[in-house]
Amino acid sequence: MGVAITGTGSFLPPLKVENSSFANHTFLNSDGSSIDAPNSTIIEKFKSITGIGERRYARNDVNTSELGYFASLKAIEDAGIDKESLDYIIFAHNFGDITYGKTQSDMLPSLATRVKHSLGIKNPKCVAYDMLFGCPGWIEGTIQANAFIKSGIADKCLVIGAETLSRVVDDYDRDSMIYSDGAGAAIIERSETGGEIVNHTSATYANGEAYFLFYGDSYKKESEEDRLFIKMYGRKIYEFAITHVPQAMKDCLDKSGRDISEVKKIFIHQANEKMDEAIVNRFYQLYGLDMPLDIMPMNIEKLGNSSVATVPTLFDMVKHGQMANHAINEGDLVMFASVGAGMNINAIVYQI
């Protein structure tokens, strides 16, 4: 018996926001001082480091839970299952529903419960709950679904990752250009014929690393707005990620009993193009190998960093032939990996 991803779906919000949209922003340093560079230079440097050229924002009348619902509909259809057969709905996010123009996050009821309600599922034994685990939340939800199924208490689970990060960014912070909105979902279920989560690993580093990502004040010090925004220590996160994620991936693969040569694709959290490339390069260097050119699909250039949504969205796009030069086939061995607030790391070795 294996545990397989039998259906996937993603929802990309319709509003495309190109880097040129930030040309007239006022960007400040963390101390509130002006940045000694024109916006054209700031944006050019940002693009060269992150790889991001545009990102997606949700419509003002759509919240995170609704993005997750749209992705879930596609995943359920793709898997060809009866929604009433779901045992668990696990919704990974970090900020809940934030109504456009509001400052307060709304998580009551849980976003998973809202999706269950929107799907019209009548079965009370379909348990719905939220996962707060930073950017690795969707992978961690998949790991939990795997555990539920292998323990015999579940047969089918819906795991969602969605976020509207555009509503928690500080317009005066250059890092605001990184973040985007989106949703991805997957059906995880018991399989007798194919598909298997071969191995997984998770870790939380909180001895000095806990607040690398945090909620903080606007860089505009004279602002009278009583509101907090997503903030990060980018250099510390970069150094943490390239130090710890490659080894976590290696440990996961080694304990799976599979060889590095069998890995066909690596689906890594779309955080920062240079950081992701450095992580996967170091992963292969741990085996004394060069990184294959076609091993790591990326959609960050067009979609930005949508946190928990990046991995399921990326996997869905490749699975359905929506990314040039990237494809997966039955029997292929792939890896999922992510790093984010916590600081949390996880990885999965999965055979399609």
What six digits make up the tokens of 189?
């279920």
Same domain, 234 and 247: yes
**pLDDT top residue among 154 and 225:** 154
Same domain, 189 and 275: no
Same domain, 29 and 70: yes
What percent of the chain is modeled with pLDDT above 70? 99
Q: What is the structure's pLDDT at 259? A: 96
CATH of the domain at 273: 3.40.47.10
115: containing domain:
2-193
- The confidence band for 250, taking pLDDT boundaries of 50, 70 and 90, is very high
Q: Which of 166, 193, 220 is the last residue before a domain boundary? A: 193
Rounded average pLDDT over 228-235? 91
Same domain, 38 and 137: yes
CA neighbor of 158 nearest in space, from 34, 59, 71: 71
Rounded average pLDDT over 98-123? 93
Q: What is the structure's pLDDT at 128? A: 98
Same domain, 207 and 322: yes
DSSP state of 196: E
Same domain, 55 and 183: yes
Q: Which of 160, 193, 226 is the last residue before a domain boundary? A: 193
CA neighbor of 309 nearest in space, from 55, 116, 46, 106: 55
- Work out the mean pLDDT of the chain and round it to a whole number: 95
Q: In this predicted model, what pLDDT tens digit does every residue of 234-244 receive, in sequence order?
A: 999 999 999 99
Structural domain tally of the chain?
2
Burial status of residue 196 (CB atoms within 10 A of its CB: 0-12, 13-18, 19 or more): middle
Evaluate the omega torsion of the peptide bond into residue 275 and state whether it is cis, within 30 degrees of 0. no
Q: What is the structure's pLDDT at 141? A: 98
